[in-house]
């Protein structure tokens, strides 16, 4: 009998608008495209994905708390909560699962208020500025960490 390995994919506020919101910054691909990309990438390595997007912080926190029961790690794009949410950071820290933080744009080159990430110090993997392909990179790096194949 094999045990399913699972990753929680969390997308925060406004990421449901991918493909519509500021395509010059976020591209023309949709949240469904992101979820499909991550699902296919994880499946290549024998992992499955549970995907969640919400514009409500409490929903995200509840999903992160629940992940400690049946997930091996978390890939998260917290959206604007990256720069504002201590409670999101505390939830990620509290569940003690490996975390990959991903951002479609490079937050370090955007408006000054976007430069700080509350998630950065609890994430083992950081990927930004690669468009939605960054989700593939983040998923692969997290799986490498989970399977003991990470470099460095």
The reply, when asked if residue 104 is annotated as ligand binding, is yes
The reply, when asked if residue 105 is annotated as ligand binding, is yes
The reply, when asked if residue 116 is annotated as ligand binding, is no
Question: Is 65 part of the annotated catalytic residue set?
Answer: no
The reply, when asked if residue 77 is annotated as ligand binding, is yes
> Which is the catalytic residue, given 103, 116, 118, 126?
103
Concatenate the DSSP letters of all residues of the chain into one string: --PPEEEEEEE-TTGGGTTTS-HHHH-S--HHHHHHHHHHHHHTTTEEEEEEE-S-HHHHHHHHHHHHHH-SEEEEE-GGGGGT-HHHHHHHHHHT--EEEEESS-GGGS-GGGS--SSGGG-SEEEESSTTHHHHHHHHHHHHHHTT----
The reply, when asked if residue 115 is annotated as ligand binding, is no
> Which is the catalytic residue, given 26, 65, 118, 126?
26
Question: Is 103 part of the annotated catalytic residue set?
Answer: yes
Question: Can you say which residues are annotated as belonging to the binding site for substrate?
Answer: 77, 83, 90, 104-105, 114
> Can you say which residues are annotated as belonging to the binding site?
77, 83, 90, 104-105, 114
Which residues are marked as active site?
26, 103
């Amino acid at each position: 009998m094999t045990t399913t390995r699972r990753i929680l994919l969390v997308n925060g506020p406004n990421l449901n608008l991918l493909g519509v919101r500021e395509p010059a910054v976020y591209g023309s691909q949709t949240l469904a495209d992101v979820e499909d990309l991550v699902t296919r990438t994880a499946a290549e390595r024998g992992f499955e994905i549970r995907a969640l997007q919400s514009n409500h912080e409490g929903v995200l926190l509840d999903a992160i708390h629940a992940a400690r029961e049946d997930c091996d790690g978390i890939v998260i794009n917290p959206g604007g909560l990256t720069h504002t949410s201590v409670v999101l950071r505390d939830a990620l820290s509290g569940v003690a699962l490996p975390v990959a933080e991903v951002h479609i744009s490079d937050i370090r080159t955007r408006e000054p208020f976007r430069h700080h990430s509350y998630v950065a110090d609890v994430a083992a993997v950081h990927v930004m500025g690669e468009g939605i392909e960054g989700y593939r990179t983040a998923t692969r790096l997290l799986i490498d960490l989970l399977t003991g194949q990470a470099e460095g």
